[in-house]
Amino acid sequence: MERPVVALVGARSRAERLLDKLSLSEKIGQLVLVDGADENVSQSLHRAVAEGRVGSVINEVDPLKVAKLQRIAREETAHGIPLLIGRDVIHGFKTIFPIPLGLAATWNEELVEACAKTSAEEAAHHGVNWTFAPMIDVSRDPRWGRIAESFGEDPYLTARMGTAMVRGFQNGTEDQLLSCLKHFAGYGASESGKDYDTTNIPEIELRNVYLPPFKACLDAGALTIMPSFSDLNGIPASGNAWLMRDLLRGEWCFAGFVVSDWCSIPQLAMHGVVENERDAALQAARAGVNMDMVGGSYATHLEALVENGILAPAVIDELVREVLTVKFEAGLFDSVPRPMRPTASPDQATSLALRAAQESLVLLKNNDGLLPFSADSGKVCLLGPLADQAYEQLGTWVFDADLSRSVSVKDAFAQRLGDRLSFDCVLKTSRDKSLAGLDQARQLARECDHVVLVLGEESILSGEAHCRADVGLPGAQASLVSEMSSLGKPVVVVVMAGRPLVISDVVREADAVVYAWHPGTMAGPAICNVLFGDADVRGRLPVSLPRAAGQIPIYYAHGHTGKPVTADTLVHIDDIAPGAPQTSIGNASFHLDVHPSPLFPFGFGLSYGRFLYKDLHLITAGAKGFEVAVNVANIGERAGSETVQLYTRDLVASATRPVRELKAHKHIRLDAGEHREVRFALTREDLKFFNGSEYVFEPGRFRVWVGADSTASLSLEVQLD
């Protein structure tokens, strides 16, 4: 992979000059990040900063306290080195946008960049100048709670969304945040979807699936990166010299710095790769972790390790030089911190949150064009444990939200429908197993023309350390759907969740299904606008939805295998004749008891229009790559948005290649009856892959598909020499 363009030459020379003036203790202070929310820390924090023993603070967002800390760092220390003030601004600060998995469902880079820019502005007005985002772990296991924070299963889409977020955070204004790429690397492959668990990833998969988003985001200018908690092929990432020295600094020429995850340095002893915390500090420093996030290991052990001749001073100098370089590059020395400035009116942020929430919604089913509701939709019965949950709809990783601006589905429906709305949560929480409220719900539903159920997961059921082995609807929610569907009224189900859930029964029983992830502050108005047609529905799945948990991991870019399943070889368990002889069935890659396809494939989403793809043809093919064109027509009765997707397969290569890989996408919006030619051009660079020893483009035959999702059938073959 090419070297990043971000070299930081000027900042590095300024850092060099400053470094020469620092004592060993002051140098180590720059490698220490403390938790400002920790009572035991905050009481002595001013003195620690004044003595140069702390260089960064996390979780202090009181602008006046931050301003005081920065003033002490700038005016009461020997060298006036500004502090980095970090906060997890994962999908919003005061205004909450959809969880990253929902942002990914927009497939809209401009929108994601705008959300990050707005988040940066809100956080910067509280003194924050660094955030631990974007999280760009490719995630293919819905059991893993942190899939909620990811951009889903695909490296290309993750890279597009991640670079958009980096641009939004590092936007060049005084309200920018340093971004931090995490969790380096392969964290999404944690065994059995349990957080922090082992990851065993062959280099060929690491380099073709998990690393590309990190490289793309570094090339987009990200200057800090965070290793994962997990061990990577037996060496924990926080002590993995191959990852942080050979690959990150050696091969990619990364010129920024690495911050550990929360106490991930002392955890090296828990992993069992070192005897104690002192050795953990030694291994992490030698492996290239610049900064210790609240572990206390560097503050406690580094000075003695150097003074006893165990750790070379040059190692400390390099770690500190990189931190100072980033502080210079980020302009911290040049900008005068200004205490709490008036934040721009929240109206703009709120309307952006509405747009993002609307574009994140994915329409999975819409029988007989039930949606959008017509204006005279009659009485609506709104039910479900997440219909009136202004907090739960925000999703995971929310600390600073302005809850007063969060509008629930019930609030939005009440505003639109007035007395044409009846509401009952029926279940107290998404985990409530009691059906005591069912009779009341049936009665309300019978008096209405439509039933809308808002179900899924409370926010605490996804996110860090919140993994589930059973990824169905929790509690009695599935029973509620069945009961409501048996009443003969049109039933719309809206699913709010931090992961792909197994909802096969729900999809079978409901007339329409919308997947909403956790849409954030404006969840209510967004869902209302889309269901009633005031906003288009345009979300596309960033992850495959499994039919059953036993299919996990299930993702579209899988291997072809030497025995792929076909219609001829596929057999269902119920169709096997009694006494079947041993070799009479199977001999292909599938499960006997569930269809091999996902319930809904990656890239899928219905629109209010109806799109027809035809006339896919080659424009050019040659030394540089190829260009194709396709005609897309809206043959529906309503205008609609479409995300046109292009996938390729390298048919014969020196290593097995996925059956399809997303390589490009474009949004179009067509009026009813309108059609348009859409073109895509790919270069040989776009078709490179790691073959086990090097990144190569290999001439040969490629199949190209263009369509509405990863199962597109319209394709052609290209020969590239």
Residues in touch with ligand GLC (CB under 6 A): 88, 132, 182, 261-262, 464
Q: Which of 386, 435, 571, 599 is nearest to 505 (CA)?
A: 599
**Shortest distance, CB of residue 263 to ligand GLC, whole angstroms?**
8
Tokens of 321: 């030089």
**Shortest distance, CB of residue 59 to ligand GLC, whole angstroms?**
7
What's the CA gap between 642 and 363, in Å, rounded? 12
Query: Which residue's CB is nearer to ligand GLC, number 230 or number 393?
Result: 230
What's the CA gap between 227 and 553, in Å, rounded? 23
What's the CA gap between 679 and 629, in Å, rounded? 4
**Shortest distance, CB of residue 164 to ligand GLC, whole angstroms?**
19
User: Residue type for 273, please?
Assistant: V
Tokens of 554: 């299930």
Q: Which of 693, 625, 701 is nearest to 664 (CA)?
A: 625
Residue tagged active-site, from 137, 141, 261, 709? 261
Query: Which residue's CB is nearer to ligand GLC, number 88 or number 661?
Result: 88
What is 117-141 written as a DSSP string?
HHHHHHHHTTT--EE---B------
Q: How many residues does the chain have?
A: 721
Within a 13 Å sphere around the CA of 664, how many CA atoms are in the beta-carbon half?
18
Q: Which of 115, 99, 112 is nearest to 162 (CA)?
A: 112
Q: Which of 713, 711, 719, 710 is nearest to 153 (CA)?
A: 710
Rg of the chain, C-alpha, whole Å: 27
Query: Which residue's CB is nearer to ligand GLC, number 132 or number 532?
Result: 132
Query: Which residue's CB is nearer to ligand GLC, number 261 or number 392?
Result: 261
Q: Which residue is nearest to ligand GLC (CB)?
A: 132
Which residues are 152's β-sheet partners? none
Cβ neighbours of residue 466 closer than 8 Å, sequence gap 6 or more = 145, 195, 396, 460, 498
Instruction: Determine which helix (DSSP H) or strand (DSSP E) holds 452, and give its type and residue range.
Output: strand 450-456
**Shortest distance, CB of residue 123 to ligand GLC, whole angstroms?**
14
534 is catalytic: no
Instruction: Determine which helix (DSSP H) or strand (DSSP E) holds 204, and give its type and residue range.
Output: helix 203-205
Q: Which of 27, 85, 26 is nearest to 51 (CA)?
A: 26
Query: Which residue's CB is nearer to ligand GLC, number 51 or number 464?
Result: 464
Count the Cβ atoms, other than its own, within 10 Å of residue 342: 6
Report angle CA 406, 408, 414 to the nearest 5 degrees.
125
Query: Which residue's CB is nearer to ligand GLC, number 464 or number 686?
Result: 464
What's the CA gap between 467 and 197, in Å, rounded? 11
Query: Which residue's CB is nearer to ligand GLC, number 146 or number 416?
Result: 146
Query: Which residue's CB is nearer to ligand GLC, number 267 or number 645?
Result: 267
Residues designated catalytic: 261
